[in-house]
């Protein structure tokens, strides 16, 4: 880990009745439904909205609800035989048990942001979608600075609920409000506080999972190896995460943010070279990432632009001398900076201000979200990219032209010195 420089990624009951209203359950579907009902205390018949066959009216809207990549919205994409939307961990246990008994694959979806749609596609055969969209409780305890969050909660909901209880507690995770904590934390989770506090997964102190035997286990029950694996190893390989217990972190009442754009003509390449050298030596309170996008030069011709996005856990007058000392070439001005509360910064990084939103809008994971047709990939870079390397990237951007391209240079060196 010691040589790890930067991370770079590019983005390019009632249900029974409902089903039987559309058309009667087939013998097979009925058998499956009976299996769900067999689990003690599970799926009481009067409880609605938990089990959907393909002919149920809500099947399609639920399937679409967090389909976040239009690439996988084709008619030939594999479709789940059933959708189960659990409200408690017993429902999850029943889903695991019955999928095993009926030899159906189980896909688990929290926020649906998987780059390859792995949470709602399965090309190997018939499968069940366990959709945690209704499984989103958040319980913040300010006294011991922790929060229990259910796997389907979005980052925006987690942030809002923390800030609702305290102006100086936060959680270090991603910058996009609609990402789900189920997939996000089980894969790591990086964001603007990570230079100081590490990844989201580093700040999990307990968890509840349902394993392949449909047993509900906490950290003690699953053991330290499994607890380690589900925090970065992709939890779906080990079970279904029901909820996480998060250790909250401290932020000052005001943080400083800035976004400055520099085109190739304005020396973007040299600035990026410098950024690569200094980024791991800046004070831990300072986070700066770079977005590479296609822009227009003064004559309106296509060019590559570097956008420096930053969060500093302090005030403008404290930030300016740090930038002057470490990165004077960026030529940052106090006027480029804004002092915000941490929760306002969450809205800022998710472009909320640009769209005229306010803090409570963080609760809405569908607001202004237009699923894109995209291919994205993350990678680690273990030594700085050379000037020639950067130029090759710019050439590739220019050649591809047209459609939106995005590349993000992050940083993830933490506790390595
Ligand atoms: C627009 C966008 C912005 C992003 N921004 C950031 C960012 O700022 N920082 C960052 O680090 N990442 C970011 N990501 C990546 C994101 O963190 C991952 O794609 C993450 O896996 C998404 O989690 P999810 O719950 O939304 O996705 P899902 O598609 O629901 O799940 C992703 C994977 O996790 C599994 N999974 C989901 N829930 C569970 C569960 N409860 N138990 C077991 N397995 C489960 C799924 O089966 C699937 O394999 C972004 C992605 C997108 C599309
Ligand atoms: C998926 O395609 C259908 C049919 O073309 C369309 O109605 C729906 O809005 C699309 N969903 C998303 C999330 O793009
Ligand atoms: C919060 O945590 C404290 C300390 O662990 C505990 O005493 C208290 O009961 C918790 N509060 C709630 C509402 O759970
Ligand atoms: C906290 O949430 C309550 C209930 O939604 C709301 O009325 C209140 O304004 C919120 N307070 C803060 C500080 O966000
Ligand atoms: C499931 O139960 C079987 C039989 O008791 C046991 O051998 C196996 O290890 C268990 N699997 C898990 C993942 O706990």
Ligand 2 closest atom vs CA 73 = 1
| First CA to last CA distance, the chain | 10
Identify which of 251, 252, 218, 249 has the alpha carbon closest to the alpha carbon of residue 145: 249
Q: Which residues are near ligand 1 (CB < 6 Å)? A: 68, 107-115, 118-119, 132, 151, 174-176, 179-180, 182-184, 186-187, 189-191, 235-236, 240-241
The reported pLDDT for the residue numbered 71 is: 92
What proportions of the chain, in percent to the nearest 5, are helix, strand and coil?
35, 25, 40
Cα of 292 to ligand 2 centre, how many Å? 29
The reported pLDDT for the residue numbered 314 is: 98
The reported pLDDT for the residue numbered 154 is: 98
| Ligand with an atom nearest the CA of residue 167 | 4
Identify which of 210, 206, 211, 162 has the alpha carbon closest to the alpha carbon of residue 185: 206
Ligand 5 closest atom vs CA 239 = 13
Mean pLDDT of 397-409: 83
Q: 185-219: per-residue pLDDT in tens?
A: 999 999 999 999 999 999 999 999 999 999 999 99
User: Is the pTM of the predicted complex or chain greater than 0.85?
Assistant: yes
The reported pLDDT for the residue numbered 24 is: 67
Domains 14-131 and 255-409 share a fold: no
Residue 60 beta carbon below 6 angstroms from any ligand 2 atom: no
Ligand 5 closest atom vs CA 213 = 1
CATH architecture of the region 14-131: 2-Layer Sandwich (3.30)
Fold of 138-250: 3.30.465
pLDDT at 381 over 90: no
User: What is the DSSP code string of 310-371?
Assistant: EEESS-HHHHHHHHHHH-GGG---GGGEEEE-HHHHHHHHTTTTTTT--GGGGG-SSTT---
Q: 41: alpha, beta or left, given left = phi > 0 and alpha = psi -120 to 50?
A: left
Confidence of residue 313 (pLDDT cuts 50, 70, 90): very high
Share of the chain above pLDDT 90, in %: 72
Cα of 316 to ligand 4 centre, how many Å? 28
Confidence of residue 40 (pLDDT cuts 50, 70, 90): low
Lowest mean pLDDT among 199-203, 294-298, 393-397: 294-298
The reported pLDDT for the residue numbered 42 is: 55
Q: Contact at 8 Å (CB) between 203 and 197?
A: yes
pLDDT at 129 over 90: yes
Cα of 394 to ligand 5 centre, how many Å? 52
Distance CA 50, CA 43 (A): 8
Q: Count CB neighbours of 78 within 10 A.
A: 17
Q: 218-245: per-residue pLDDT in tens?
A: 999 999 999 999 999 999 999 999 999 9
Counted residue by residue, the chain has a size of: 417
Residue whose CA is closest, atom 10 of ligand 3? 141
Share of the chain above pLDDT 70, in %: 90
Strands (E), 31-85: 51-53, 82-84
Mean pLDDT of 46-50: 60
Confidence of residue 2 (pLDDT cuts 50, 70, 90): very low
The reported pLDDT for the residue numbered 48 is: 54
Residue 144 beta carbon below 6 angstroms from any ligand 3 atom: yes
**In this structure, what DSSP letter does residue 248 have?**
P
Confidence of residue 414 (pLDDT cuts 50, 70, 90): very low
| Bridge pairing between strands 204-210 and 337-340 | unpaired
Mean pLDDT of 120-138: 94
Residue 21 beta carbon below 6 angstroms from any ligand 2 atom: no
- Mean pLDDT score of the chain: 89
pLDDT at 14 over 70: no
Cα of 243 to ligand 5 centre, how many Å? 22
Q: Which residues are near ligand 5 (CB < 6 Å)? A: 211-213
Q: Count CB neighbours of 240 within 10 A.
A: 26
CATH architecture of the region 255-409: 3-Layer(aba) Sandwich (3.40)
pLDDT at 137 over 80: yes
Confidence of residue 4 (pLDDT cuts 50, 70, 90): very low
Q: Any idea where the domains of the chain sit in the sequence?
A: 14-131, 138-250, 255-409
| Ligand with an atom nearest the CA of residue 366 | 2
């Amino acid at each position: 880990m010691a040589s790890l420089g930067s991370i770079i990624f590019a983005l390019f009951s009632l249900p029974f009745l409902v089903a039987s209203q559309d058309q009667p359950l087939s013998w097979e579907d009925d058998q499956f439904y009976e299996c769900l009902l067999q689990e003690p205390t599970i799926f009481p018949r009067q409880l609605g909205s938990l089990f959907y066959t393909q002919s149920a009216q809500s099947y399609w809207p639920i399937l679409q609800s967090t389909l976040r990549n239009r690439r996988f919205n084709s008619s030939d994409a594999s479709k789940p035989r059933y959708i189960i939307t659990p409200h408690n961990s017993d429902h999850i246990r029943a889903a695991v048990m019955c999928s095993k008994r009926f030899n159906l694959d189980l896909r688990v979806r929290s926020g649906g942001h998987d780059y390859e749609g792995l949470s709602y596609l399965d090309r190997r055969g018939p499968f069940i979608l366990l959709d945690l969209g209704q499984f989103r409780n958040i319980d913040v305890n300010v006294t011991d600075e922790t929060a229990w969050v259910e796997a389907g909660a979005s980052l925006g909901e987690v942030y809002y609920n923390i800030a609702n209880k305290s102006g100086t507690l936060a959680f270090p995770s991603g910058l996009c409000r609609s990402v789900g904590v189920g997939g996000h934390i089980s894969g790591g989770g990086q964001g603007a506080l990570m230079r100081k506090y590490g990844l989201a997964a580093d700040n999990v102190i307990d968890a509840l999972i349902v394993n392949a035997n449909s047993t509900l286990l906490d950290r003690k029950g699953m053991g330290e190896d499994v607890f380690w694996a589900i925090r970065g190893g992709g939890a779906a390989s080990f079970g279904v995460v029901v909820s996480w217990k998060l250790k909250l972190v401290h932020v000052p009442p005001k943080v400083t943010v800035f976004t400055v754009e520099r085109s190739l003509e304005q020396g973007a390449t040299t600035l990026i070279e410098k950024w690569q050298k200094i980024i791991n030596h800046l004070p831990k309170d300072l986070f700066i990432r770079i977005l590479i996008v296609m822009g227009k030069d003064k004559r309106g011709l296509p060019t590559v632009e570097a956008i420096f996005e930053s969060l500093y856990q302090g005030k403008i007058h404290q930030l300016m001398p740090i930038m002057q000392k470490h990165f004077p070439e960026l030529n940052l001005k106090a006027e480029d900076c804004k002092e915000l509360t941490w929760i306002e910064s969450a809205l800022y990084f998710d472009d909320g201000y640009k769209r005229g939103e306010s803090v409570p809008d963080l609760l809405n994971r569908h607001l202004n979200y237009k699923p894109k047709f995209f291919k994205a990939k993350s990678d680690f870079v273990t030594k700085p990219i050379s000037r020639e390397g950067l130029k090759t990237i710019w050439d590739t951007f220019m050649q591809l032209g047209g459609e939106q391209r995005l590349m993000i240079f992050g940083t993830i060196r933490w506790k390595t010195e």
